[in-house]
Amino acid sequence: MFDGKFRAPIDKAVKPLGHALRRTGLTPDHLTVIGLLVGVGAAFAIGAGHLRLGLLLVILAALPDLLDGALAKASDVASQRGAFFDSTVDRMTDMVLFGGVAWYLASEHSAHMSILPFAVMGLSSLISYQRAKAESLGLEAKGGLMERAERVALLCIGLLWEPLLVPVLWIMLVLTAVTAVQRFVKVWRQAQVAPATLARIEMRRSRRQTRRVARVQRRRTRVPRRRNR
């Protein structure tokens, strides 16, 4: 939901910050790693029961994730490798954050209650997989009620008011399940358009095959270097 309605205005707002960060010498990968490290710190703070400190660190961990894309565009270094790295680190950060929440619930509430954040994380992984698999098939699976930005926002509310933490997690679980259903239906309907789907898949296969052939030809046409005797 966030990506569909607010991504473009926020990207426009942080664009000047990307140009400012470029002059510091930082790279988008630096920001991504910083966000991960701060997220790990937030998980330890939450697990130890310092929810307000955890809230502050969660917000600080979200800032690099917000700015790394703007820095990549400003530095003209946006790439598939960077996007893959950023997405992988996002999943790692989510795992450690919800792991910290689970540790807190097991310590302060009950061991059974600690299953709740793991259930949220499991469904979150499902909707991430749905999008990745759909895009590999040339389809689209973006959108839904509970994407990553919404999960972080709800988690912050739960950390700010501790009595709301468990209800917030239940809301998150339900809305994430709804998102999984929404994405499944969206992809299922797109996949019914067989000719268009097959055309996209064949186009991607053709491009991959063309790149493979080009690499093989380059290897064959390389002139071996002469060794000095």
Residue 225 covered by a domain: no
Residue 135 covered by a domain: yes
Range of the domain at 8: 2-220
Give the pLDDT of residue 4. Answer: 56
Residue 228 covered by a domain: no
Closest CA to 5 of 145, 198, 179, 206: 145
Residue 43 covered by a domain: yes
Q: Which residues have a catalytic role annotated?
A: 90
Give the pLDDT of residue 7. Answer: 64
Mean pLDDT estimate for the chain: 84
Give the pLDDT of residue 226. Answer: 55
Q: Which tokens is 134 given?
A: 């759909």
> Residue 202 sits in a domain of what CATH number?
1.20.120.1760
Give the pLDDT of residue 27. Answer: 83
Residue 226 covered by a domain: no
Helices 51-75 + 80-108 axis angle, to 10: 180
Question: For the residues of 63-130, what is the DSSP string, one character each?
Answer: HHHHHHHHHHHHHT---HHHHHHHHHHHHHHHHHHHHHHHHHHHHHT-TGGGHHHHHHHHHHHHHHHH
Residue 229 covered by a domain: no
pTM, entire model: 0.76
Residue 94 covered by a domain: yes
Give the pLDDT of residue 130. Answer: 92
Q: For the chain, how many residues are written?
A: 229
- pLDDT mean by block of 10 residues, the chain; 229 residues: 63 71 81 92 95 95 82 76 87 94 93 93 93 86 86 94 94 95 91 64 80 78 57
Residue 227 covered by a domain: no
Structural domain total, the chain: 1
